[in-house]
Amino acid sequence: MNFNNECIKVERRGPMIKTWLFIPGNNEKHLQKARILDVNALIFDLEDAVSVSEKETARLKVSKIIQETKENLNYIRINDRTTPFFLDDLYECVRDGLTGIVLPKVNTKEDIVIIDYLLEVLERKYQINNHKVSIIPIIESASGLYHAYEIATASTRIQCLAFGAEDYKLDLNISPDHHGTELLYSKSKLVEVSSAAGIEPPIDSVFTDFQDEEGLVEDARMGKRLGFQGKLLIHPNQIDRTNQIYSPTPEEIEEAKKIVQQYNESLDKGEAAIQIDGKMVDIPVAERARKLLLYADIQV
């Protein structure tokens, strides 16, 4: 926000990551196909998508592919720290080429403190730049939501939070609603916490029926309106529509450019509120336009 007649400027942090696709870590065909998908970020899954008998094989495959595709945003969803697979997942897969760890079932800040320490040790061991590997905690329980701010601020590695709606509904015995209204509070809470913690906006949960495009569109639009930066996906068919929904339209971009430019000019004249196309524009409106351009990676 700007209260001293300084121009509204777009920070160069890059665009938000709109699409995050889970790839089963034990499926060689899917792992190879992931190389050519037009998705923002890949999450190689060692948790729910992999049976116990396949955990070791999956680790080896995932470790290999992240080292071969260092140009991608490569994340790994490991098993949570209460399982016997947690340490092995980290020891095998923290290598150069890994962007971050997606950590499931995070309930308290202690979950973050532990993995932060282990990542620091492994980065030194494998000569990875210190604090290069980020952490994305998945909030999927009442305890996780209650402690979300403590979790979000427990480490400088925290990139953003993610929402695990299916486990959250199970934990609270919530009956699903076709329009997702039963999750409005929890989703809004994560957006609020993320802003207060100074981290990126959260990632919305998966839409499990990958054949229901209409349902996906409604769910993704709600997530965008609530303030999420993007969405977890379980099928390549969900990528294009989700990218479209979370991307500003050309009309929105042009309007935002106009607002930022004219508002900057008004500040130079000492005016903090102006009219543009019949609409009042003051600091909050100009800031929303600035953020839209930031998310779209537009230079003004």
C-alpha 34/C-alpha 46 separation (Å) is 15
- pLDDT for residue 276 is more than 70: yes
CA atoms lying within 13 Å on the CB side of residue 205: 22
Q: List, for residues 233-254, the tens digit of each pLDDT value.
A: 999 999 999 999 999 888 888 8
Question: Beta strands 274-276 and 279-281: pairing type?
Answer: antiparallel
Residue 262 CB: number of other CB atoms within 10 A?
Answer: 17
Annotation-wise, does 167 bind a ligand?
A: yes
For the chain, what percent of residues have pLDDT higher than 70? 94
Closest C-alpha among 225, 208, 237 to residue 288: 225
- pLDDT for residue 286 is more than 70: yes
Annotation-wise, does 182 bind a ligand?
A: no
**Which pLDDT band holds residue 2 (cuts at 50, 70, 90)?**
very low
Q: List, for residues 128-175, the tens digit of each pLDDT value.
A: 987 799 999 999 999 999 999 999 999 999 999 999 999 999 999 999
Q: Tokens standing for 263?
A: 């508002």
**Which pLDDT band holds residue 15 (cuts at 50, 70, 90)?**
low
Across residues 24-39, what is the average pLDDT?
95
Domains annotated for the chain, with CATH where assigned, are 19-246 (3.20.20.60), 250-295 (no CATH)
pLDDT at position 10 = 38
pLDDT at position 270 = 79
> Could you tell me the CA-to-CA distances from 126 to 6, 54, 94, 122 in Å, in that order?
45, 25, 8, 6
Across residues 186-200, what is the average pLDDT?
97
**Nearest-5° angle of CA 127, CA 156, CA 239?**
85
Give 137's contacts (C-beta < 8 A, 6+ positions apart): 103, 106, 111, 112, 144, 151, 152, 158, 161, 162
Q: List, for residues 89-126, the tens digit of each pLDDT value.
A: 999 999 999 999 999 999 999 999 999 999 999 999 99
- pLDDT for residue 183 is more than 60: yes
- Least-confidence region, from 61-70, 207-216, 266-275, 282-291: 266-275
Closest C-alpha among 192, 213, 205 to residue 43: 205
> Could you tell me the CA-to-CA distances from 157 to 27, 154, 237 in Å, in that order?
29, 9, 31
Q: Tokens standing for 82?
A: 């209460």
- Mean pLDDT, the chain, rounded, equals 91
C-alpha 210/C-alpha 219 separation (Å) is 12
